[in-house]
Amino acid sequence: MPASSESDGPAAATGVLDRYFKISERGSTLNREFRGGLVSFFTMAYIVVLNPIIIGGVPSTDGAPAKNADVLGHVLPLAQVAAVTALVAGVMTILFGLIANYPFAIATGLGINSLLAVSIAPEVTWPEAMGLVVIDGIIIVLLAVTGFRTAVFNAVPAELKAAIAAGIGCFIAFIGFVDAGFVRKPEAGTTPVQLGFDNSITTVPTLIFAIGVLVMGVLVVRRVPGGLLIGIAITAVVSIILEAIFDFGSSMDNPDGWSLSIPELPKALGGWPDLSLVGDVDLFGAFTRIGVLAASVFVFALVLSNFFDAMGTMTGLGKEAGLTDEKGNLPGIGRALVVEGTGAIVGGAASSSSNTVFVESASGIAEGARTGLANVVTGLLFLVAMFLTPLYEVIPLEAVAPALVVVGALMIGQLRSIDFTRFDYALPAFLTVVVMPFTYSIANGIGVGFISWVVMATAAGKVRSVHPLLWVVAAVFVAYFARAPISDLIN
């Protein structure tokens, strides 16, 4: 996407920054890089608010299961999650800019943190779940260093790659609907879920969510930089005003109340961040608790999600910035993939979840960013945000959940590359997409997709077209889905 045509001063930057980042060589200027870094930050900063809500929680005081509790009932405190989310995003974004020299900012991946909160943490402890993320990152780095990452990527059909991304989008959106109370489990009746209470939006917080989806949607349609962040801010302000007037309180005390955080102004806006979650990781505990097979499948799901999302995102951003060669390849992709994989290692070690390249970086590229200097600007702003994490206390779940729905809508667009007139493509893709939200598990959707793909290919007489790796993965998932009876036979 071309940079702004406005005058930015000298046509080329000079000095150490220009030589290191190749600013003038890529046709950019210092002004464009700084502006692009600012815009990327404002389009991504919502993750500092969103990630604590997705993987964090508040300890239960009434004996009921706490939101996002692990197998032992423990939660990741919201303030600590916000602090490490900003810390890791800042550090990894700066490192990516300095080493890979591309304007692709890094932060906690939405698909991975949802997988951790919903599918993995309920079966292991949070330190053990983060240990799996670290192992995922080590595998990703090794695949990048050896060059095997591209080979594995090529083994999976493009249709399944697109379906996995779209399925994760549906899953994320469904989480948003449920967390905001827009979709609920009825107290009585024949349907498993319903719209709000008795198929009607009767609470102000849920109405805030519905309005937030439309507001953010409008901002995205209008291509307003930072549309998601602005939408969160608007709905949060409205929530604060309404709470001050009507005093809804928590849903634990009032059915019409807020799901998690009550939108009240914090006593302080800054302070030293609590980084106590850094290093709170158990690398191999999950393999002991749930067994090698189940833990390995979780690691595979993490690797698969990281693997395809990052590579596709970097390719798209590179093309948008005009940084790819005539074959569509991104020069220096090896270094970029190694640093991106390191984001999973660092994110897991800090308990912020796996960090990966954010597609919102495209907004900074649209503002003219072409080098890693923009990343340095974005990363420094994330480090500053680390000292402002008490802001999460003023933002209710209903104000943030709309972002999940909008991100889901963006990810579902991957389906356009699938030929649904071919049923041997359509059934595996469809099952991959719907099984994720229907079973509340990304891993289940991936497994069903792989199994159905090899079966449909066999039925279509195209066994030879299936890469051997797909057969191996499908067999692993068959064993995973049958782990209960297999365990009974062994015992």
Among residues 93, 114, 110, 111, the alpha carbon closest in space to that of 102 is found at 93
Q: Indicate left, alpha or beta for 51 from its phi (over 0: left) and psi (-120 to 50: alpha).
A: alpha
* Residue 137 near residue 344, CB atoms below 8 Å: yes
Dihedral through CA 427, CA 304, CA 302, CA 315, nearest 10?
-120
Mean pLDDT within 7-17: 58
**Helices assigned H by DSSP within 11-125:** 16-21, 30-44, 46-55, 78-99, 110-115
- Tokens of residue 308, six digits: 């395809």
Predicted pLDDT at 131: 96
- Predicted confidence (pLDDT) per residue in 24-53, tens digit: 888 888 888 988 898 888 878 878 888 988
Taking the CA of residue 42 as centre, how many other CA atoms within 13 Å lie in the half-sphere pointing to its CB?
16
**Which of 171, 56, 176 is closest to 121 using CA atoms?**
56
Distance CA 267, CA 208 (A): 24
Residue 216 has pLDDT above 70, yes or no: yes
* Tens-digit pLDDT profile for residues 88-115: 999 999 999 999 999 999 999 877 888 8
Instruction: Please tell me the predicted confidence (pLDDT) of residue 327.
Output: 55
Contacts of 355 (CB under 8 A, 6+ apart): 88, 89, 92, 106, 107, 108, 109, 343, 344, 346, 347
The pLDDT tens digits of the residues spanning 446-472 come to 889 989 999 999 999 998 888 888 888
Instruction: Check residue 5 and give its pLDDT.
Output: 45
| pLDDT of residue 12 exceeding 60 | no
Distance CA 402, CA 416 (A): 23
Which has more confidence, 187 or 277? 277
pLDDT tens digit sequence for 371-407: 999 999 999 999 998 887 556 567 787 887 888 888 7
Q: What is the mean pLDDT of residues 425-450?
A: 88
Mean pLDDT, the chain, rounded, equals: 83
Give the span between the Cα atoms of 158 and 415, in whole angstroms: 11
Tell me what pLDDT residue 218 has: 93
Report the 10 Å Cβ neighbour count for 292.
Answer: 11
pLDDT confidence tier of residue 284, bands split at 50, 70 and 90: very high
Q: Residue 432 — left, alpha, or beta (φ > 0 → left; ψ -120 to 50 → alpha)?
A: alpha
Amino acid (one-letter) located at 232: I
Buried b / exposed e along 114-151 (16+ C-beta atoms within 10 A): bbbbbbbbebbbbbbbbbbbbbbbbbbbebbeeeebee
| Confidence at residue 10, expressed as pLDDT on a 0 to 100 scale | 45
H-run or E-run covering 183: strand 183-184
